[in-house]
Amino acid sequence: MRIKVILEPSEEGGYTVFVPSLPGCISEGETRELALKNIQEAIELYLAVQPYNCCESRHPGL
């Protein structure tokens, strides 16, 4: 699966990276490589919990 990410230099140094199609999925790293590695992990975690978040919003208390 290919997911578009946006990689931007941070004012403080390093890089911030986010996924436009996954609201709130954001990460950072000191180098481009580390930022991309970190966002890959963030995407995996985001997608792993998404089914639970979906059900929770439709059925509070489950």
Per DSSP (E only), the strands in the chain are 6-9, 15-18, 26-29
pLDDT in tens, 11-29: 999 999 999 999 999 999 9
Exposed/middle/buried for residue 1 (C-beta within 10 Å: 0-12, 13-18, 19+) = exposed
- What is the pTM for the complete model shown? 0.77
What are the domain boundaries of the chain? 6-58
Residue 54's pLDDT is: 54
More confident residue, 57 or 17: 17
Correct CATH for 6-58 of 1.10.357, 3.30.160, 3.10.450, 3.40.50: 3.30.160
